[in-house]
Structures are given as structure tokens and as C-alpha cells.
Amino acid sequence: MTSLRPHLQRTEQRTQLIVDGKPLVLLSGEVHNSSASSLAYMAPVWTKLTALHCNAAILPLTWELIEPEEGRFDFSLLDGLLTQARAHEMKVIFIWFGAFKNTRSTYAPAWVKTDTTRFPRAQEQPGQLYGEITVVCEEACRCDARAFAAVMRHLKTVDAEQRTVVMMQVENEVGLLSDGIDYSPLAQAAFAGPAPGELLQYLASHETELHPRVRDPWLAHGRHLGGAWSTVFGEGAWEIFMAWSFASFVNRVATAGRTEYDLPMFANAWLATVEQRPGEYPSGGPVAHMIDIWRAAAPALALLAPDIYLDDFAGVCKEYAQPGNPLVIPEVRLDQGVAAKALYAIGEFGAICYAPFGVEDLVLSLPHNDGPCANPVADISWVGAKTDGAQLFTATYAQLGEMMPVLTTYAGTNRSRGILQQPGTSHDVLDIGGLRLTVEYQRPYHPEEPPAGGIIISPHDFEYHVIGYGFRLRFSLPEDAPLVGQHYECGNIDFLEIWEGTWRQGEFVRGRRLNGDEYQVQIGSAVGCRWMKLYRY
């Protein structure tokens, strides 16, 4: 039983999610915040997820519905969601909407919300209550952790054998808005106290690896290993204090849950732009420049995940795909690039989960009311966007699901690369499989049209599997390629074989063998797959 429990397996090159004893990439989608509060509402949503070729769903699980009265737990909704997921052969990540969800406490039970003495609120200004419990409230942390532990204890009872739930997200986009300072008496007293010794020891032992937004103020103020927050960190102290406080809170909740049923757990981030100051984004959340603080305070979390609504998708992936922090994308903006981003995240970084937010919006033709639709693949589209982007997403997930054994073998290693067309870019250059590949994009980038995207996998030198759309590949020798040797006698490159095809149950099924006028690797506006082998002469 223990060996089959969903877990993360780390190697020198990558980290993989192991489900039912084998690696799995979660081709997922996150439903809207209120969708999973009703089994009747969710019934047709599962059909939509199946139509989109998802193999997993990300669903909120809310404290207010789990523990409506203190100490009385109701797991009927949770059990119903598991039954529905199993009926559609779908894995699940639950999001625990506990004390914090998007800088508010709206998912806390009524007995928590209405007792501001026992559960005091954060304050935007002295005496001005905020819609969020102060993160330094010990009682809120204790009760939240108790409820989450009850959830995980129940999950172990009802799901340890079926293993429907494979990961848990603890809270959602935590942090504090306004000016990023909590003026509540509890928070002010904690901030006036000493910075924790375990945090400062962590910074000292990881000094050369720290993000500059953490390292620089600490060094500039004397590299203290003790003292008040403001003494140790100066003007940056409040954000670091909030990050430590939120991470410590989440860590206690996660630890309580893992003690009952040890599934991989993570926290997600509402991201910051370079121009924003703390409070314009949630101060204290696991944004990229606070990852060091979160790692120090929250060892119970397996990883920190970005919710990507910023334009620089590739840059965010690179920030979060760090050693020891595998890439999980629990939310991504539902736009024309949703398919290309999936290909890029999995191909370039070995992402173990990718999920557009509000994924049920991708299928307009399936009703939200009277049960499953008779035609689950008709009229794939979404509100406010062109149909082609949704069709690309559906075809992409379909092929990625069929080629899962290849993805889990190579994605995240140096045998896999991702393609994502960026604004103002006509081509990109990638080195993989002993050759240099120039990716030429079919058309200029346009924000209202799907950007090109793809995955290139090279099982062996000079051999390539390609999936994607909107580009052409040209092959050449890298500048440092040897001119002599067993396989490198001359400087010319050409194809031995090029095949169109499709993936079915882990096997590449060949279609046309391309030659003559089609003697090239060019994939048009629809998702296509190619296999090719080259030689040097």
C-alpha cells in the first residue's frame, strides 16, 4: 500500500509524480471556485472534462462545508466528488479553502467568521478590520489544522486503496493586500519581537543561493543572526515577516494533514510583477522572491506553485522550476495560448501538472443543468475567445494523453525541449539530440491568435519525436560539433526518414512517409505529430 501511495520521486535531473506505481503527468483543469460545492452542478462538468481529454481535475474543498459546526464534520460532498471522479476515471487534486483564499477568509465557517474576538481580523489601518483573519492568530491555525487533519484522515479511509486524490493544495493565494502591513495588535506585537533563529540560520546556510530581494537587505543591515525584524531586514522586513507568518501557518496545516495521510502538498502564489510593491500583490505569499522564506518556514510542502496570469509565461516557469521545486501550474489564464503553454511547460520543464482555470468554460455546448450531454465533443469553444484555441487545447491534451509513456520517460530531462512563440520573435534555436534545431514560426505573433507551441523529444541522437503546431524545423550541426570521429566524419545533415503519424496508447502510429515536395518538418495550424531520423555525411 505504501509503495502505491501517490508521492513525488526525485532524481538528479527531475522530480516526477508517481501514481499507482508509475509516473504520471496531470493533464488537468481547475473548475470555478463554486462549481464543486454542488454534486448536481458538477455532474455535467465531469463530462466536459472528459471531452477535453483531461486525466485529472482540480477541485475546491471548503472548510465551511466540511465543518459547518465546530467539531461536526460532514464529508458527504467530498465522498460524492470522489464517486463522480472515479466514474469518469479522473484523478483529483483538492484545494483546501481553509482560513485563507485570495487574501480573504470567506471560506471559513460561520462560527469562525462571526467570532472576531476568538479569531481576530487583520487590519488595513489601526482599527480598520480587513476581510481576512490575522495570520498570527494561533486559534485560527489550530482550528484550520484540526479540520484539515480530519479531511486527510477521512481520505485515507475512503481513498487509500483507490488513490483518486493524488495531491493536495493547502490554502489558496495567501497574503495581504492594501499596503502589505497588518496593523492588528497581534501582528504588530509579533513584528516587534525577534526574527526567528531558525529563519536566520537557514539564510546563513543558504547565503549564496538566496534571492537578492531576501539576501540584499539582510546583508545590507549587518547579516544579523538575531534581533528584531526591522533591525535584521530594514525596509523589506514586513514582507519577509508576512511570508514567514503565512508559510508557518500553512506548514502547520499541511503537517497536520500529512500526519494523517501523507500525500504531496503544495501552496500556490498570486504572482507579482517587477513594478508592483508588496500589497499591490498579496504580501507574504509564495511569490518567486519569497521562495527562500517559504522553504525555510514550510518544509511540509513538497513545492510552491505559480498561478500564471502574467504575460511572461516562460519567465514564470523558469522562476519556479528550480532544483527541489518541480513545476506545477494549478491555474493558468484561459486564453488563445492555453495549448501552446501546456506543450512548453511539459516539454521544457517537465511540468507534472498543468491546469487552465475555469476549465469548464471551454465547452459551451454542454449544459450545466440536466446531467451528461449526449454529444460531449461538439462545438468546443469558450466565452470571449475564438474556437481555434479551444480546439487546439483539446487536440493537444488528446495526444499528450496518448503519448504519456514517452512524456514520463523524457520530459524534464535533456532529451526534451519545449516550444512557445513569444511576441516579436520569428524563430528560436534549440540544441537537442546532437543537433541544432531552428524553430521558424509560421506567422507573426498576435495576442488574439494562438501562438505556436510544441514539444521536441530526442530518444537518441539524430532521432526526434515532435508534437505541436505553427512552426517549421531546420536542422544543423552545433558550432562545437566535432569534425572527425565515428559518427562525425563530414559536415552535411539530411533526413533518413520523416513520418507523419499519431500517438495511440504510447505507440507512434505511422501515417504518410514524407519525401519529395514534403521532405521537410513543417506542422501547420492544427496539432500534428512527426517522427524523423537524420544522418551526417
Tens digit of each residue's pLDDT (9 = 90 or more) over 65-115: 999 999 999 999 999 999 999 999 999 999 999 999 999 999 999 999 999
Q: What is the pLDDT of residues 398-414, one digit of tens each?
A: 999 999 999 999 999 99
From the number of C-beta atoms within 10 Å of its C-beta (0-12, 13-18, 19+), residue 192 rates as exposed
CA gap 536, 477 in Å, rounded: 9
Kindly state whether residue 90 falls inside one of the protein's structural domains. Answer: yes
CA gap 182, 121 in Å, rounded: 9
Q: Are 214 and 295 in contact, with CB atoms under 8 Å apart?
A: no
191 and 65 in a common domain:
yes
482 and 519 in a common domain:
yes
Q: What is the mean pLDDT of residues 189-204?
A: 97
Give, as one character, the DSSP assignment of residue 414: T
Mapped onto helix, strand or coil, the DSSP state of residue 331 is strand
- Name the average pLDDT for the chain: 93
In the chain the first and final C-alpha atoms are separated, in Å, by: 54
**Residue after which a domain boundary falls, among 374, 402, 430:** 402
Distance of CA 322 to the CA centre of its chain: 13
Kindly state whether residue 217 falls inside one of the protein's structural domains. Answer: no
Exposure string for 103-131, b = 16+ CB within 10 A, e = fewer:
bbbebbbebbbeeeeebbbbbbeeeeebe
420 and 384 in a common domain:
no
256 and 147 in a common domain:
yes
Kindly state whether residue 209 falls inside one of the protein's structural domains. Answer: no
Q: Does residue 488 or residue 442 have the better pLDDT?
A: 442
For the chain, percent of residues with pLDDT exceeding 90 = 89
E strand or H helix that includes residue 170: strand 165-172
Q: What angle do CA 528, 344, 388 make, to 5 degrees?
A: 50
Which are the contacts of 486, defined by CB distance < 8 A and separation ≥ 6? none
Kindly state whether residue 268 falls inside one of the protein's structural domains. Answer: yes
CATH code for the domain of 294:
3.20.20.80
pLDDT band per the 50, 70, 90 thresholds, residue 486: low
CA gap 119, 122 in Å, rounded: 10
279 and 353 in a common domain:
yes
Q: What is the pLDDT of residues 377-398, one digit of tens each?
A: 334 444 444 458 889 999 999 9
310 and 450 in a common domain:
no
Residue 89's pLDDT is 97
Q: Are 522 and 501 in contact, with CB atoms under 8 Å apart?
A: no
In 3D space, the residue among 335, 341, 437 whose CA is nearest the CA of residue 390 turns out to be 335
Q: What angle do CA 390, 348, 21 make, to 5 degrees?
A: 90
The model carries a pTM of 0.93
Q: What angle do CA 395, 399, 400 make, to 5 degrees?
A: 115
Which are the contacts of 298, defined by CB distance < 8 A and separation ≥ 6? 247, 248, 250, 251, 254, 267
CA gap 186, 424 in Å, rounded: 50
Residue 365's pLDDT is 41
CA gap 12, 26 in Å, rounded: 21
CA gap 82, 91 in Å, rounded: 9
Kindly state whether residue 87 falls inside one of the protein's structural domains. Answer: yes
Q: What is the mean pLDDT of residues 49-67?
A: 97
434 and 340 in a common domain:
no
CATH code for the domain of 511:
2.60.220.20
In 3D space, the residue among 443, 414, 450 whose CA is nearest the CA of residue 427 turns out to be 443
For the chain, percent of residues with pLDDT exceeding 70 = 93
Q: Does residue 67 or residue 374 have the better pLDDT?
A: 67
**Does the pLDDT at position 7 exceed 80?**
yes
422 and 397 in a common domain:
no
In 3D space, the residue among 77, 36, 64, 30 whose CA is nearest the CA of residue 49 turns out to be 30
Which are the contacts of 184, defined by CB distance < 8 A and separation ≥ 6? 120, 121, 122, 123, 134, 136
Kindly state whether residue 75 falls inside one of the protein's structural domains. Answer: yes
Note down the domain range covering 98.
22-204+236-402
* Residue carrying C-alpha cell 483564499: 101
* Residue carrying C-alpha cell 500553512: 250
433 and 488 in a common domain:
yes
Mapped onto helix, strand or coil, the DSSP state of residue 263 is coil
Kindly state whether residue 219 falls inside one of the protein's structural domains. Answer: no
CA gap 78, 86 in Å, rounded: 12
**Residue after which a domain boundary falls, among 378, 402, 426:** 402
Residue 367's pLDDT is 38
Q: What is the mean pLDDT of residues 340-367?
A: 87
**Does the pLDDT at position 475 exceed 50?**
yes
158 and 32 in a common domain:
yes
- Based on its alpha-carbon atoms, the radius of gyration of the chain, rounded to whole angstroms, reads 25
Dihedral (Cα; 532, 502, 24, 412), 10-degree rounding: 20
Q: What is the mean pLDDT of residues 505-524?
A: 96
Phi–psi pair at 84, nearest 5 degrees: -65, -45
- Pairing mode of beta strands 507-513, 493-504: antiparallel
373 and 473 in a common domain:
no
424 and 395 in a common domain:
no
**Residue after which a domain boundary falls, among 356, 373, 402:** 402
Kindly state whether residue 274 falls inside one of the protein's structural domains. Answer: yes
Number of domains present in the structure of the chain: 2
Mapped onto helix, strand or coil, the DSSP state of residue 175 is coil
Tell me the sheet residues that pair with 500. Answer: 530
